[in-house]
Chains A and B, each alone.
Chain A
């Protein structure tokens, strides 16, 4: 796989949002939504990006497509610096990168017929004209499993699953090489969710489309991704091929996420980890490793560590002993095994 050039290369991506206050709306701080995010997506492959709400996964997707301006870092599409382009050249590149949103209700214009919604990008990018456009729209609708006659209907006439199919058809309309899917199935019912996931994986096989698949549900991501990156508070904390990440996670946050996800199996599960506390605000992230106030491993390691390596911090008003290094130093995201990156000082420790 290393012989193939990546389709999309993201390097040290950074997105900060200014916090403005007062009459003159002076900038009083920064919400560090995305910090030092790097990954590659290869042609025809899927990178799953997982995390809880507020971890910055959606902002990553939007920053890559320049729907939100980046404050640092690089995005290369086929080796070409995507952030350097403007005007016509930018528009040409945009044709290759599309997005499918979570909520198909609010991402389709209610005053346009489905035919017009699908025709707009085709015409805008000059991919077809006249009666060809209609034919192309009909082909798209059929490809996503809808009747070609639906082109005359309006978004409100469809169910959630059908609307998501329209959203996918719109993304497909310009024959993109990369589609960013931002929680494409989380608003859908279980039986519809599997239909949409199968459609996406068929499209990938047929057309060799690469996906950045953003989701909070680890099981859904596993199903669809070749590689998976886990985000916490704006940073990637673990990144690996899917099998490696699910079979032997290294970061304590990934371990906790996997253990917390309810599995449809009534046999009692042993060793469930219930993480204390909540995700802190990205405007004021904790020092050192951002996960340390909730980390079970940093506490566990402190039990047998020499006193000099232990620090006592206050979590929800209670004193908690944990490893000093976790409180003071940010762990780098580095390979711990071939192809398996994690950002944890104690990634080789098993509780």
Chain B
């Protein structure tokens, strides 16, 4: 958006910026736009969590970064994705191949479907190293073994000969992470990295991601639906609903002073371990289908705050900076009418206050 000015809050330049990304898909029933006007920024050594329910567009927007969406039927309709100031959407396929894996790596929810079953894991990790770092096979093998050790796989040299089916789910996810790290990318996109894993294995993988950030200084884009995972890992959070970012803030601001009615509803409806057992609050209705998004504010049919306001049904509220460091897209947030429509940028990073945890085997 041309009228947007960067705010005073961020003094650094972001590593990756999503600026008004709008993605459409041509379907037999016409154009469907599952992702619309998505804005956020990711800084060096920062973890940005993009959180939302299924179908909110979080994965489509993440796949757009590496241009992994099938085109056609997909189309970029508007916006840009800037990596160190360069628009990834205008890069050639050859340029993108250098960025994928080399600069920005991605891990997915289901490691079994992302690994090739007919090659051993050593060959799969070495392929990326040889491609991006132009080294010989022997050197690549050493680096692959080192990458496996970094992600906590013991006896790495022997493990390189294992095939994906010989590994457990947690091990496969470690291999995916090792593969992503082998070329020392600047950014790791983790799309629901622990959703398919058990709680105790999830704890191991999340601990590993925190360690990588501490030691390798990587920026992480964490795509998840799990607010617990967000709370414990993110510095900054973008909440998505029906293809839009409806709120963007530092993690404490969002968790303790969430402003958007969707964010608030989401928090009230999660069952918690702490506190007394009581009736859960719910958000009425269901997430709309992208083929039939409502007019105006995308959340208005389910919104408890709207109170019949005709404006909510008529015109979509853009993301505005309603407080210092806090962006929200809702007419019924105090100060929204006067708030400036600025680029959402927050370079906050939380202080790692954690004591050294148990070693991960």
Contact = CB atoms under 8 A, between A and B. Distances in A.
Interface of A: 52-53, 159, 161-162, 189-195, 197-198, 201, 216-220, 222-223, 242, 246, 256-258, 260-266, 268-270, 272-279, 296, 315-318
A195 B282 contact: yes
11 contacts: A189-B54, A190-B269, A191-B265, A197-B280, A219-B272, A260-B202, A262-B231, A264-B270, A272-B357, A274-B207, A316-B154
B350 interface: yes
Interface string B293-314: 0000000000000000000000
Given A189-B225, A223-B280, A274 B357 contact: yes
Contacts of B353: 268
B170 A278 contact: yes
Contacts, number: 140
Contacts of A52: 198-200
B199 A266 contact: no
B354 interface: yes
Contacts of B266: 190-191
Nearest to A195: B282
Contacts of A316: 154, 361
Contacts of A296: 358
A216 B361 CA distance: 23
B124 interface: no
Given A219-B273, A264-B228, A316-B361, 6 more contacts: A53-B198, A161-B286, A258-B273, A260-B202, A274-B358, A278-B170
Interface of B: 53-54, 154-155, 168, 170-171, 198-204, 206-207, 225-232, 234, 251-252, 255, 265-267, 269-274, 277, 279-283, 286-287, 350, 353-355, 357-361
Contacts of A260: 199-200, 202-203
Per CB-CB distance, the 3 closest pairs between chain A and chain B, nearest first, are A262-B228, A276-B361, A194-B269
Contacts of B155: 317
| Candidate in A191, A265, A274, A296 with the most chain B CB atoms within 10 angstroms | A191
B86 to A, nearest CB: 33
Contacts of A272: 203, 354, 357
B275 to A, nearest CB: 10
Contacts of A317: 154-155
A266 B361 contact: no
B160 to A, nearest CB: 16
Given A194-B281, A198-B280, A242-B277, A256 B200 contact: yes
Contacts of B270: 190, 194, 219, 264
A261 B361 contact: no
A137 to B, nearest CB: 22
B360 A197 contact: no
Contacts of B358: 273-274, 276, 296
Contact of A266 (B54, B232, B281, B282): B232
